[in-house]
Amino acid sequence: MKEKLVLIGNGMAGVRTLEELLKLAPEKYDITVFGEEPYGNYNRIMLSPVLAGEKTIDEIMINDMQWYEDNNITLHAGKKITKIDRVNRQVLADDGTVEEYDRLLLATGSRPFMLPVPGADLPGVISFRDIKDVDEMLSTSKTHKKAVVIGGGLLGLEAANGLMLQGMDVTVVHISGVLMNQQLDETASDLMLEELKGKGLNFLMNHATESISGDGRVEKLHFKDGSDIDADLVVMAVGIRPNVELADSAGIHCDRGIVVDDTMQTFDPTIYSVGECVQHRNQTFGLVAPLFEQAKVCANHLAKMGIARYISSVTSTKLKVTGIDLFSAGDFNGDEETEDLVFKDAARHVYKKLVIKNDRLIGVVLYGDTVDGTWYFQLMRDATDVSDIRENMLFGQHHLGDSGHGAANSTDNLPDDAEICGCNGVCKGDITKAIAEHSLFTLDEVKAHTKASASCGSCTGLVEQILASSLGTDFNDTPSKKAMCGCTDLSHDEVKNAIKAQDLKNIPQLMEALEWKNADGCHSCRPALNYYMLSSWPNEYVDDPQSRFINERVHANIQKDGTYSVVPRIWGGVTNPGELRAIADISEKYDVPTVKITGGQRIDLLGVKKDDLPKMWADLSDAGFVSGHAYGKSLRTVKTCVGSEWCRFGTQDSTGLGIKLEKMTWGSWTPHKFKIAVSGCPRNCAEATIKDIGVVCVDSGYELHVGGNGGIKVRATDFLCKVATEEEAMEYTAAYMQLYREEGHYLERTAPWIERVGLNHVQALVVDDAENRKRLAERFYKSQENSQNDPWAEHAAKYKENYIPIKQVS
């Protein structure tokens, strides 16, 4: 019978321990995991790119829910353990869940330190530690403008940069005169300060916070020198503390952290601990590398192999902060017994400092050029005598010639245990082994197999050097191109460009001209090609029904039992008794078993037989209804609130504008489904900031937000611009939608499209260039001209499965 292992804490260190354990003894334990957050295991280091809009939550997941299922691990996500019963070997969760254990692993991590000043508990004062914090920052950035970040360390600067990219006016308050004083010396700090000011951040150095004030929400920060600053949001990034409360309450020996020995065992021999919550030989930890080393040691002992010890060693920090490469290790400040080797090129924003003592390298700071960081760190770890290379070592490993310490490739002389990717704890040996065993030839393949370079990207150059060294002339340093499908080697963009460049007007012509491997195409390329033809030649190309999915051909969504759901369009969610009566009569006529109000303010008639679809649509058309396109790669819904007509908070007629937008855009085929919303005020009841385009009404006009998604991969919108009139809102919407139709890949939502092309690109073509905006809008309107008359009623009696009714033109 398997023993029971319970892990408290679903973070990086704890789950890495499980990964290592599964390699050593996959069948030894029944494993249960408790995590306070309602997610799988994600890379906390990468929250900064999520805040900056560079990555999504899904993209920073290390192990999603499926991983736990695949490894037979029971995950209690969103449950907090409140008690450890060491006598009965049980843990108790806040929802009453009780789980027994034979071995318990504590990986409770750390908690952010909040300054104990008056007003620290006001709404709008938060930390920067988890997904919830990021969500609150993103939400606040949509409605407020002034942010203050307390703390000029790594987290503080990343938070400040992300909020600035979200459009906020950001000031960093730091108690010291040196930014990132744990990683940088004064010279590197000054370079960083100058560069970050140039990017648009503001700084108050040597300022100590005395209090925070506000009426119901944070409004001001007050400093000990008597000055103050306005703030709509305050982010405290002033450090972390090991989270020991649970262990301490269970009688486990704790000091600053949970005290462990060299096997990662606590005072209780059945309980182990790893990560930021532990204290080992009077030392606590905040970097990833030692946590992952602890995970290996702990897994070794949980597997009862008993041959590993954790020995704390010097650590290095390799970072990319707001686009600036940094590296530091060891004692980089030195003292009267040390010597400094310094190189500074302020114009190129490059600074290097090596600290030497007794012919040994004991400290390094690199700013702007970090390619030799791993080599310097290896010299430090090995306590290498550098007296014979001292003259040239400041200029990097590749300058050392035949001295024995260097090589043309700076990774060649690194040992297999040299860490390359600090974010994911990947060593050189892991990469070279994966290259050999899996025949890897590209950076993307190495990322997929090892996770090296898959997070912050600061180690990409080193990974490419290892690839080049391992493969020689076989190394492909060109980014891999993703073909549309197996029928062609061409990408989506190459196919789209060829349609225009070669004047290809139909699918057979395209397949011949572009040497399609399969004369009939496949289920992936046929719908895509049909869409690209429609978007390229909207008034010439004849839609190909055989290249449509069944849902689009019959104007209904097929359900799991083989019946269909029919969704008539309800303009802006506004209806009347006559329409409701007609829907009720038609529902009774065709024995519709379920009538449901959808999340998009429409009515869904579920359980319709396929043979009844033509007659039902004919009846609906006679009653004045058109298709809601609930199945289509097209406009789906325009969600509205009641706005100024009824709501006491409404600033504009959001319902009226929503109906105008829906009538302007309905039936327009797009690369993927497209949703719009119009909220009557910043309270945003219509959820406009998670739509493909959302309009938020304000007293002085309309804020336009783009690129949102409210599905599995939730993404808040980016702020596009503000306009003054409904006419402008409609023109910008048409232009934005047309740009997406022309540039988006088939089955690519606007959220990944904007992340691919960049918000600046969209703003340049839609906002900044008025003439181009008008041309885009005109192309959109023109593509709609041929589809203003609904042909469905006329043809309903002649309905065939392959007929595409109701606004078929893109």
Q: What ranges make up the beta strands (E) of 403-452?
A: 419-421, 426-427
Nearest to 456 by CA among 131, 751, 44, 16: 44
Give the β-pairing of 693-698 and 674-679: parallel
In a domain, 185, yes or no: yes
Which segments are annotated as binding site for [4Fe-4S] cluster? Answer: 641, 647, 681, 685
Mark whether 502 and 602 lie in a shared domain.
Answer: no
Mark whether 159 and 61 lie in a shared domain.
Answer: no
In a domain, 432, yes or no: yes
DSSP letter, residue 541: P
Q: Which residue has better confidence, 212 or 439?
A: 212
In a domain, 295, yes or no: yes
Mark whether 576 and 642 lie in a shared domain.
Answer: no
Where residue 601 sits, what CATH number does that domain have? 3.90.480.10
CA distances from 102 to 63, 107, 253, 258, 272 (A): 25, 16, 19, 19, 11
Where residue 57 sits, what CATH number does that domain have? 3.50.50.60
Q: What's the mean pLDDT in 258-280?
A: 96
pLDDT confidence band for 790 (50 / 70 / 90): very low
Q: What's the mean pLDDT in 100-128?
A: 96
Which segments are annotated as binding site for siroheme? Answer: 685
Backbone angles phi, psi at 790, to 5 degrees: -75, 115
pLDDT confidence band for 400 (50 / 70 / 90): low
Mark whether 642 and 778 lie in a shared domain.
Answer: yes
Mark whether 197 and 256 lie in a shared domain.
Answer: no
Q: What ranges make up the beta strands (E) of 542-592?
A: 557-558, 564-566
Mark whether 152 and 35 lie in a shared domain.
Answer: no
Mark whether 780 and 666 lie in a shared domain.
Answer: yes
What is the per-residue pLDDT for 26? 94
Where residue 771 sits, what CATH number does that domain have? 3.30.413.10
What is the per-residue pLDDT for 518? 81
- Total domains present in the chain: 6
In terms of C-beta density within 10 A (0-12 exposed, 13-18 middle, 19 or more buried), how is residue 667 classed?
A: buried
Last residue of a domain, one of 252, 274, 302: 302
In a domain, 313, yes or no: no
What average pLDDT is seen over the chain? 87
Mark whether 133 and 225 lie in a shared domain.
Answer: yes
Which segments are annotated as binding site? Answer: 641, 647, 681, 685
Where residue 437 sits, what CATH number does that domain have? 1.10.10.1100
Mark whether 152 and 231 lie in a shared domain.
Answer: yes
> Under DSSP, is residue 231 helix (H, G, I), strand (E, B) or coil?
coil
Instruction: Extract long-range pairs of 220-226: CB within 8 Å, 24+ residues apart.
Output: 221/148, 221/150, 221/173, 223/173
Summarised one tens digit per residue, pLDDT across range 680-696 is 999 999 999 999 999 99
Enumerate the β-bridge partners of residue 106. 8, 273
Mark whether 558 and 512 lie in a shared domain.
Answer: no
In a domain, 327, yes or no: no
In a domain, 396, yes or no: no
What is the per-residue pLDDT for 458? 66
What is the per-residue pLDDT for 803? 33
Last residue of a domain, one of 268, 302, 336: 302
Mark whether 252 and 103 lie in a shared domain.
Answer: yes
What is the per-residue pLDDT for 557? 82
CB of 50 within 8 A of CB of 134? Answer: yes
Summarised one tens digit per residue, pLDDT across range 580-622 is 999 999 999 999 999 998 877 779 999 999 888 888 988 888 8
CB of 648 within 8 A of CB of 664? Answer: no
What is the per-residue pLDDT for 102? 97
Range with the lowest mean pLDDT among 258-272, 289-303, 439-453? 439-453
In a domain, 380, yes or no: no
Last residue of a domain, one of 443, 477, 511: 477
Task: Give the CA-trace dihedral at 513, 519, 525, 526, to 10 degrees.
Answer: 100
Mark whether 74 and 104 lie in a shared domain.
Answer: yes
In a domain, 341, yes or no: no
> Under DSSP, is residue 293 helix (H, G, I), strand (E, B) or coil?
helix
What is the per-residue pLDDT for 547? 77
Range of the domain at 502: 492-547
Q: What's the mean pLDDT in 651-662?
A: 93
